[in-house]
Amino acid sequence: MIWTRWGSIGLATLVLVGCNTATASFDDTREIEAPRFAPVPPAPAESPQLDALVVRDTAGFGAPGPNADPTLVGEALAALRAQVPRLERVSDLYFDDENVWLTIVEPNTRNLSRSVLWLRSSDLYIGEEDYVEEADENSTYPISDVDVDAITALVDGLALRYPSVQIDLPRLDVGLSYDLGLSWRMDLVDGRGTLATIFADLDGTITAVDQGS
Amino acid sequence: MNAVRRVPAVVLLIVLALLPLQAWLQAGRPDVRYSQPLDGLAGITWSATVSPDGRLSVSIVYDFGDEKVRDSSIRLPSGSRFLRTDGKPTPAPSGRFGEVRAQDTLVVTYERVGAVTRYSDGVIVDFDGTENSDQALFPCARCYLGIDEYGNTALSGALFADDLTGARFAIGGLDQLRTENVDGALRFLGVLPGADDASMIAWLPLAAAPDAPTRSGLPEAIRGETAAQVWDATLTAADGAFVDATERRVPVGPVALASMLSAMWLLLVAWIVWRLVIAARVLNVEQPDAPIEWDAVFSPPSDLEPAVVAVLVGDTGRGARSAVAATLLALAERGAIQIDGIDSQRYTLTIPPGATSNQFEEVVLSELRPQGQRTSTATLTGPPLWGAGGASVERSLAIVAENAARTAQLLRATLTAWVLVPASLVMGVVALIGSGGSSRLAWAMTLVGPLVAVVAIWLTGTSLTAKGRAERERWLAYGSWLRTNSQLHDVGAPGIATWGEPLVYATVLGAAPTAAGSLGTG
């Protein structure tokens, strides 16, 4: 009698265990297709990733200030090249509607860097030499990476697409690129404050939108 | 030779049948089976493509397996961009997180930079989440997707690249891992315990990403001078958490393995059946009542020892018989011992010192002599002649006779060792190779199979050779002729003085049951 009872319990356990299983087949794995890469948009401001940005109601408040002016970058770099003809590497370039800031690495002495400020009034200020113990090439980039046309197209395109938003302080700095590689980073500010931070490749393609959680 | 023992061979075949049985079960069953499947996450499909310049396009499909709406968190590895969920561009706060409302399935896609690094000896694709699960193929699936339960799920995956020739890859965090490298993809399937995270590192040929960066873009990446160094260091740092998937290849597929083992097993069955049938057919040629070629059976067909004749003939035909009695009568017939009749049945048996001339006689007389000493004289009366040691004498004599019959090539092992032992070993080895060394049964059978075969060979015993079969037929015919003599039936041991050699063989062929009974071990 006792064997019958325990046998029934055992059988029921086996059935329960048997039911509580799942299977998977390797054939399904063979059906997986290769993911594709994002296409290059026709213009930076038409980047598909920009669709992630959700514009909010600002109750009639407009942009808090003027957009950064990318045309300044070309002028600033031209003035800088005239002053430092053998300039190769720079870091942390950023600009607003009046000024361009960047740091340059001394062409022959990589441990020396200088801060540079260029004003719309065409004044160029080059700061004192700053010595760093270990030069880190990963924190700097060739000046040729700064594609003035691309950043101009991006900022101008964004200004057209979002007229009530200020494009604030575009910045090209390795340390602020979220491990995305060297990327343009800029804030979009509306009447209620910072709307989002966007990241773009050197060619202006928007790669990420950080709109907070 | 009374009957062919089939049971040991059947047992051996049943044991060996476990190998093809297991192989067919493996071939027929789903590739992975897991208990406690997670309610709310039926499976995950991960895939990625490596571009020549070292970018990665990643796709992760979470199949919830239900219609429940979930607020799911997305955690991205470093360097993730172009984040999309269910095909829609999605914001990524801090570049590492996302929030999305999901139902039925959630498809997360992104591109990743920095995880593909080119070295002089190959390209490393780094999804090592040993230290930081955000850098894995995906972070803990159960933890961030809005799933309340606990359980296991399945993970299918594939890594694509332009060239995967000789590629190696290791997976961490998966059970029952199955992999293959075909059609431009490293594909894998496994069970994700606890629906947690899984890691991967792949070592691809240079042609897979010839323009990839030469420096890893991952903040916590293990670095090295060569791809080999990074590979080794990563696996070492993981401390066994990674399974080198490239080492698990097996030379044959599951169906082919099952077919091979089945074919081998069937061949073995056929061979064993053939041997047993042959052995049984020989024994079934019983001729006690068959027509007798009288010219050939009037005298003993050969000079075989009575004990050897007993082995050949066994219990075939009518009449009680005794090899021990026949051996004693043979001794008496040539005067080596003396049997004096007290009456027609009772006798006195006298064994002088050193009376024997062969091993058969020695086996029998050693039990009758005092303390078994050959120099002793023994005088015994019977029947009964034997005490408690009679049965052992019968067995000892049978063993000696069987060995003599083998030496004379009258008998052979029914199942020969040179076939059965290698066959059982080869089946185990094939199953072992076919399972990639993962089958415990294959290991056990490789080690134990040959031993079982040896035991089966021993237990199955011997059968007649062609020569033995001819001898048996002749002796059976002679036995039949002896049985036609009704007087022999009642002759006792003392009758040896009168009947001589015919009584000796009649005792072992069932034609002289009285003499066999009076001198036999009972």
Same domain, A110 and A151: no
pLDDT at A111: 79
Tell me: pLDDT of B381 over 70. Answer: yes
pLDDT band for position B288 (cuts 50, 70, 90) = very low
- Mutant choice from A179, A203, A209 vs B, greatest count of B C-beta within 10 A: A179
Count of CB contacts below 8 A, A vs B?
Answer: 149
- Number of domain units in chain A: 2
A137 and A151 co-located in one domain: no
d(CA B484, CA B461): 33
Which tokens belong to B421? Answer: 């032992």
pLDDT band at B355 (very low <50, low <70, confident <90, very high): low
C-alpha distance from A79 to closest chain B C-alpha (Å)? 32
Chain-wide mean pLDDT for chain B? 86
For residue A38, the chain B residues in CB contact (below 8 A) are 57, 82, 111
Averaged pLDDT for residues B229-234 = 94
Q: What tokens were used for A128?
A: 């004192």
Chain A residues close to B40, C-beta within 8 Å: none
pLDDT of B4 = 67
Nearest to B219 among A37, A48, A179 (CB): A179
Does A87 contact B at CB distance below 8 Å? no
Q: Is residue A22 part of a domain?
A: no
- For the cut 90, the answer to whether the pLDDT of residue B432 exceeds it is no
Rounded average pLDDT over A80-106:
92
Residues in chain A: 213
What is the C-alpha R_g of chain A?
27
Q: Report if residue A37 sits inside a domain.
A: no
Query: Do A63 and A153 sit in the same domain of this protein?
Result: yes
Query: Domain check: are A140 and A75 in the same one?
Result: yes
Cα B353 to Cα B238: distance, rounded to the nearest angstrom = 83
Contact check, Cβ <8 Å, A51/B88: yes
A158 and A65 in one domain?
yes
Residue A29 lies in a domain: no
Q: Which residues on B lie below 8 Å from A213 (Cβ)?
A: 93, 97, 99
Identify the pLDDT of residue B289.
47
DSSP readout, A106-167? -SS-TTEEEEEEEETTS-EEE---EE-SS--GGG-EEGGG--HHHHHHHHHHHHHH-TTSEE
Inside any domain, residue A156: yes
Nearest CA in chain A to B51: A37
One domain for residues A96 and A199: no
CA B130, B131, B137, B141 torsion-angle sign? positive
Please state, in angstroms and rounded to a whole number, the distance separating the CA atoms of residues B506 and B518.
14
CA distance B235 to chain A (A): 24
**Residue A26 covered by a domain:** no
Q: What are phi and psi of B29, to 5 degrees?
A: -85, 165
Of A144, A165, A193, which closes a domain? A144
Q: How many residues does chain B have?
A: 522
Claim to verify: residue A114 and residue A77 sit in the same structural domain: yes
Query: Is some CB atom of chain B closer than 8 A to the CB atom of A26?
Result: yes
Q: CATH fold of B35-249, please?
A: Immunoglobulin-like (2.60.40)
- Mention every residue, 6+ apart, whose C-beta is less than 8 A from residue B162: B50, B52, B184, B207, B208, B209
Q: In chain B, what percentage of residues exceed pLDDT 70?
A: 94
pLDDT over threshold 70, residue A135: no
List all residues of chain A from 152 to 181 with a beta carbon under 8 Å from chain B: 178-181
The confidence band for A180, taking pLDDT boundaries of 50, 70 and 90, is: confident
Residues A63, A115, single domain; the answer is no
Residues A127 and A187 in one domain: no
pLDDT(B37) > 70 = yes
Share of chain A above pLDDT 70, in %: 89
Are A93 and A154 in a shared domain?
Answer: no
The Cα of A75 is separated from the nearest Cα of chain B by a number of Å equal to 31
State which of A112, A144, A176 marks the end of a domain.
Answer: A144
Q: Are residues A60 and A164 in the same domain?
A: yes
**Domain presence at residue A23:** no
Position B62 confidence tier, pLDDT thresholds 50, 70, 90: very high
Contact B83 A208 (CB under 8 A): yes
pLDDT at A1: 52
End position of a domain, from candidates A144, A161, A181? A144
What is the average pLDDT across B455-472?
85
**Residue B467 C-alpha, separation from nearest chain A C-alpha, in angstroms:** 57
Residue A157 in tokens: 């395109």
Instruction: Say yes or no for a CB contact (<8 Å) between A209 and B89.
Output: yes
CA-to-CA distance for B173 and B192, rounded, in angstroms?
7
Q: How confident is the model at residue B149 (pLDDT cuts 50, 70, 90)?
A: confident
pLDDT band at B340 (very low <50, low <70, confident <90, very high): confident
- Determine, yes or no, domain membership for A4: no
Range of the domain at A106: 71-144
Smallest CA–CA distance, residue A118 to chain B, in Å, is 30
Give the residue from chain A lying closest to B177, CA to CA: A26
Look at residue B439 and tell me whether its pLDDT is greater than 70. yes
* C-alpha A181, offset from chain centre: 8
Strand-pairing partners, residue B63, are B43, B105
| pLDDT reported for residue A32 | 94
